[in-house]
A and B are shown apart, each in its own frame.
Chain A
Amino acid sequence: MHWFAKQRYLIDYTVAAMLRRRAKNVGLLAVYTTIVFLLASVMLYSNALKQEASVLLKEAPELVVQRMVAGRHDLIPADYLEPLRGIRGVRRLEGRLWGYFYDSTVNANYTFMVPPERDIDPGSIVIGDAIARARGSETGDVLAFRGAGETLYPFRVAEVLPHESAIVAADLVLLSEADFRGFFGIPPGKFTDITLTVANPKEVRTVAEKVVSALPDTRPILREEMQRTYASLFDWREGMVLVLLAGALLAFAILAWEKASGLSADERREIGILKAVGWGTGDVLKMKLWEGGLLSMLAFLLGFTLAYWHVFGTSAALLAPALKGWAVLYPNFELTPAVDGLQLTSLFVITVFPYTASTLVPVWRAAVTHPDVVMR
């Protein structure tokens, strides 16, 4: 009971003391909140991106088989489908047609693809929303691209892909098989790669091994490898931004040290008075720790709330160019709010810990102020 009452008195006193030194504390709070905001934005955003990509990749086939010629990807003949069909555990397989295209009018790369489960009328295309934005097109417009043999191919936009799939479909152009073969000059009987659906996820690696032994000039790519690539891509981008922010974090720790150690004569005298009237070193230390704790909590809550709004409310307007980076076509989509407990804890540790650590020594020095200072 006494302990709680004592903490309440200390908190009351601390809050009053902080309000008395409003300018100093508001400045510190603003810098602290900004740091939490930036770090939380990066963490929330890249985590949400990873989640988004992984949700979308769930639909992807377990295995993609590519043909390799002299170490580089080449078109795969349709008669490769036969030996693959014989592998036990393969439920379904399909030849895919897709390829990258550089659009010099907007300096962007698109991905052209023949959708496996959808018929598109010849002469029509379905485009991702980033392309629609970049080219200023909508359904019904005609878009022309220069294809194989420098021929100009006009296509009518049949549909713009929905917003939700933007993260991986932003730069997508879906077209019919005939148009695709004509546009890229790919003869019949050849595919870009072959996708395999495997019934039992545990068998995916065995199937991949069998693919290589049946067709030694091919390379199987596992879905989990793709997921890992996406994850590490976003991790890498997150890391880049965090490295830049590390400088800011260090600067903040220095500022916190400076603020905490730069006790004004008034503050020193106040601590002297408190000690003279019966406060112990421990009481002053606790009061100062409460001060740091309250400031940290407030900055953390404010910074995190702002970051949450920034990431999930404004689609991370400030960070998107650095973290999303999809060629030059930035996907435009809203992320599903997701907060990871571990992430929240790590964020708390990496922001509150440097502050507490950098203020501990100055706080201790203040707390051991001799009480007789008030008599001098």
Chain B
Amino acid sequence: MSAIELYAVRKAFNEGRPNEFLAVDGVDLEIEPGRITVLTGPSGSGKTTLLTLIGCLARPTEGRVHLGGESVSGLPERFLTELRRRTFGFVFQQFNLIRGLSVLENVMLPAYPLGPHYSTLHGRAMELLTHLRLGHRAEARVEWLSGGEAQRAAIARALINDPSVVIADEPTANLDSHLSAAFLDIVAELRSQGRTVLLTSHDPLITGAGVVDRVVAMRDGRVV
């Protein structure tokens, strides 16, 4: 299990231009493995940007991100892709499922570049969907799903490559309280499987949930 450590991480957008903007400003943080951590704070506080840096979706402008003791912030693109593929599973705020494809196809998508045997991949995707109570919707196109179903499909997609870290950005922003509670149940289960879970949220239902191990507050790009 790999710990995630951040040292003096800064992320600037539009660098050197008049509209330069500092989204993350000198963050030092350690995220413990196998636990549920929530980044919270108002809009524009830098939570999502910090998630993209931790999840190897972007590189910091300054500072270092360590994964399992190794610096990953300077790695070339293809190594970052490999890390992203094998270590992280993402659940996006808008779920970002690809329209026009079935639930099953969306779930299998992250595994395509690995070229697994089709029956193995299909079996694993169905297993995840069934576990998340979506087995009966496997062949449905994603645009026909309800909000809760779409989120569970996104979770299944995040888990298809069996990642050790699951990252979710504002996972309950589009869900009612009942569905948010169901999401927390899934998160608890992920932790019980030994996965690290990192969420961003300003939903009190999440930040105040008993299952959450740690809440990190942010404001103006800094941890407060």
Interface residues of A (CB under 8 A from B): 1-6, 9-10, 13, 16, 19-20, 269-270, 273-283, 370-372, 374-376
Contacts and interface: CB of A to CB of B under 8 A. Distances in A.
Nearest to A13: B112
Contacts of B118: 5
A277 B90 contact: yes
Interface string B75-101: 001100110111000101100101111
B51 interface: yes
Contacts of A375: 48-49, 51-52, 57, 92-93, 169
Nearest to B101: A16
Contacts of B211: none
Given A374-B96, A375-B92, A375-B169, A279 B115 contact: no
A278 B161 CA distance: 9
Interface string B94-126: 001011110001000110111111100000000
B157 interface: yes
**A-side interface mostly:** helix
B58 A276 contact: no
A372 B81 contact: no
Q: Which 6 A-B pairs have the closest CB atoms?
A: A278-B85, A6-B115, A2-B115, A280-B81, A9-B112, A5-B115
B113 A278 contact: yes
A374 B94 CA distance: 9
Contact of B100 (A20, A279, A280): A20
B109 A277 contact: yes
B32 to A, nearest CB: 23
Nearest to B83: A278
17 contacts: A2-B116, A6-B113, A10-B112, A13-B112, A16-B101, A20-B100, A273-B92, A273-B98, A276-B90, A277-B90, A278-B86, A278-B113, A278-B161, A283-B113, A375-B51, A375-B57, A375-B93
A192 B105 CA distance: 80
A370 B58 contact: yes
B113 A16 contact: no
Contacts of A372: 52, 57-58
A19 B81 CA distance: 27
Contacts of A2: 114-116
Given A276-B90, A280-B113, A371 B100 contact: no
Nearest to B154: A277
Contacts of B109: 13, 274, 277
A279 B112 contact: yes
Contacts of B51: 375
Scoring A4, A6, A276, A281 by chain B CB atoms within 10 A of each residue's CB, the highest score goes to A276
Given A372-B57, A375-B52, A375-B57, A277 B81 contact: no
B117 A282 contact: no
Contacts of A4: 115
Interface in B169-192: 169
Contacts of B49: 375
A279 B57 CA distance: 11
A281 B78 CA distance: 8
B159 to A, nearest CB: 11
B169 A5 contact: no
Given A5-B115, A375-B92, A280 B78 contact: yes
Contact of B81 (A10, A13, A269, A281): A281
B114 A6 contact: yes
A30 B48 CA distance: 44
Nearest to A374: B96
Given A6-B114, A282-B78, A372-B57, A276 B84 contact: yes
Contacts of A278: 81, 84-86, 110, 113, 161
Contacts of A374: 92, 96
B95 to A, nearest CB: 10
